[in-house]
Amino acid sequence: MIPDSTTRVKGESVDAIGGNPATLFPSPPWKHPTVSVSRKELITPVPTDTRGTQAGEGRKAWNSWLAAIIKVEGSDLIVKAGLPPRIRFRGALKDLTSPPVTEDLMFQVAKDILDPNQLDHFRRHGSMDFAFDFDQGRRFRVNLFMARGRPAVAARLITSRIKTFEELGLRTSLGEISMAAQGLILFSGVTGSGKSTSIAAMLQYVNERKKVHIVTIEDPIEYIFTDVKATINQREIGIDCTNFDDALRALVRENPDICLVGEMRDYETFEAAVRAAETGHLVFGTIHASSAWQTFGRIYDLFPESERDQIRKLLAYNLRAIIYQKLLPTLKPEIARVPALEILLNTPIVQKYILDAREGDLLEIIKAGKDEGMIDYTSALVELVESEMVHQRVAIESTPRPEELQMRLKGIT
């Protein structure tokens, strides 16, 4: 029998306790070809049938939490069983003045706000993404999930009023980019950096100026558009279509001029997006990357090495712009956060660098392309600091090049 850790004396060797490495520390099961565990066997169904409080109590608590976000003009709700609900306000989490939420109340929230199909999905998979309409003009993007056997929820407030570039603190040059006839426009950045909000502002800019057909594929729908000049059809995964793959296959048959395909997280989604751009559509998408020029590496990682030369050529000829965005807290009491943008436009020299596999040198091209509408992240931070929008300390903490930023702020180029 293998001795447990309580029988071993500190400092003794394996031989001293009568064993050998092979038997005491056997190979992990994934190295044994005979061991096969079904993924379904590893998932414990969420006990929604047996847990909860009284019907309606979950909905009452849920509505009160969402009302609190709206009242204080917060952005997010985070609720975990065992803790008071928390609201993200100006980027920081603040506790609500209410007692810790019990597990049973969280299970009752799930029962009260999910429809039967959603509740079954949550029970079987341990998480559920959905949109929740609080009232006529406000909705929430919600993820209900299990963490260490306890329910939790994260919700983000989405309003139906789409803000302008000026209200969001975005560069007005995004308007010109959004009016392009065709091509691929990518927004990069971490989760919660405002990419979806910026894209919504660009689509609304087009909506107010151009008679085109816009089709969005979203999971879930975040902003509700009202047709102005454009005709806008918004498709939500799980309601209007079963999955992204089916929606993407149907996209070209829906005769769009402009498409929003959401997050490009895999090979199939990105390939479909770039092919749509190649066939004459203007395509918007998001991707996780830490700068505009580093986005190329993230894209190439989605593809097998044998296909990267081909996707490089497709990007060189069909890319319109890559916009990296990060939200920073401001010095203005009336403005919570402001975006810092890095913008790469696909000019002839950029196209040549992509074809020559010199994407790593594009940062210098961005720095030199100010007259063409490009801007690097450091220059964007300098503008925000010099306009007294962002504190110098915040700017320095947000950049991977703090020394360069400090020199620029001192007037050294």
Query: How does pLDDT run across 152-200, given as a tens digit for each residue?
Result: 999 988 877 899 999 999 999 999 999 999 999 999 998 889 999 999 9
Bond into 333 cis (ω within 30): no
Lowest mean pLDDT among 7-11, 120-124, 137-141, 301-305: 7-11
Domain boundary assignment for the chain:
57-159, 165-375
* 112: three-class secondary structure by DSSP: helix
Q: What percent of the chain has pLDDT over 90?
A: 69
Residue 12 binned pLDDT confidence (cut-offs 50, 70, 90): very low
**For residues 11 and 348, which has the higher predicted lDDT (pLDDT)?**
348
- In the predicted structure, residue 23 carries a pLDDT above the cut 80: no
DSSP characters for 13-58? -TGGGT--HHHHSPPPGGG-TT----HHHHPPPP-TTT---STTHH
Lowest mean pLDDT among 4-13, 271-280, 322-331: 4-13
Please compute the mean of the pLDDT values over residues 70-74 and round it to a whole number.
90
In this structure, the dihedral spanned by the alpha carbons of residues 393, 395, 401 and 406, taken in order and rounded to 10 degrees, is -60
Residue 35 binned pLDDT confidence (cut-offs 50, 70, 90): very low
Q: What is the pLDDT of residue 238?
A: 78
- In the predicted structure, residue 37 carries a pLDDT above the cut 60: no
**For residues 251 and 348, which has the higher predicted lDDT (pLDDT)?**
348
**For residues 21 and 298, which has the higher predicted lDDT (pLDDT)?**
298
Cβ(151)–Cβ(106) below 8 Å: yes
- In the predicted structure, residue 132 carries a pLDDT above the cut 50: yes
Question: Was domain 57-159 assigned CATH 3.30.450.90?
Answer: yes
Question: Was domain 165-375 assigned CATH 3.40.50.300?
Answer: yes
Lowest mean pLDDT among 19-33, 313-327, 332-346: 19-33
Please compute the mean of the pLDDT values over residues 128-157 and round it to a whole number.
90
Residue 42 binned pLDDT confidence (cut-offs 50, 70, 90): low
Lowest mean pLDDT among 15-29, 132-146, 258-272: 15-29
Query: How does pLDDT run across 145-161, given as a tens digit for each residue?
Result: 999 999 999 998 887 78
Query: How does pLDDT run across 292-338, given as a tens digit for each residue?
Result: 989 999 999 999 999 999 999 999 999 999 999 999 999 998 888 99
Distance of CA 377 to the CA centre of its chain: 19
Q: What is the pLDDT of residue 413?
A: 65
* 81: three-class secondary structure by DSSP: coil
Q: What is the pLDDT of residue 243?
A: 85
- In the predicted structure, residue 203 carries a pLDDT above the cut 50: yes
Token digits of residue 195: 């990419």
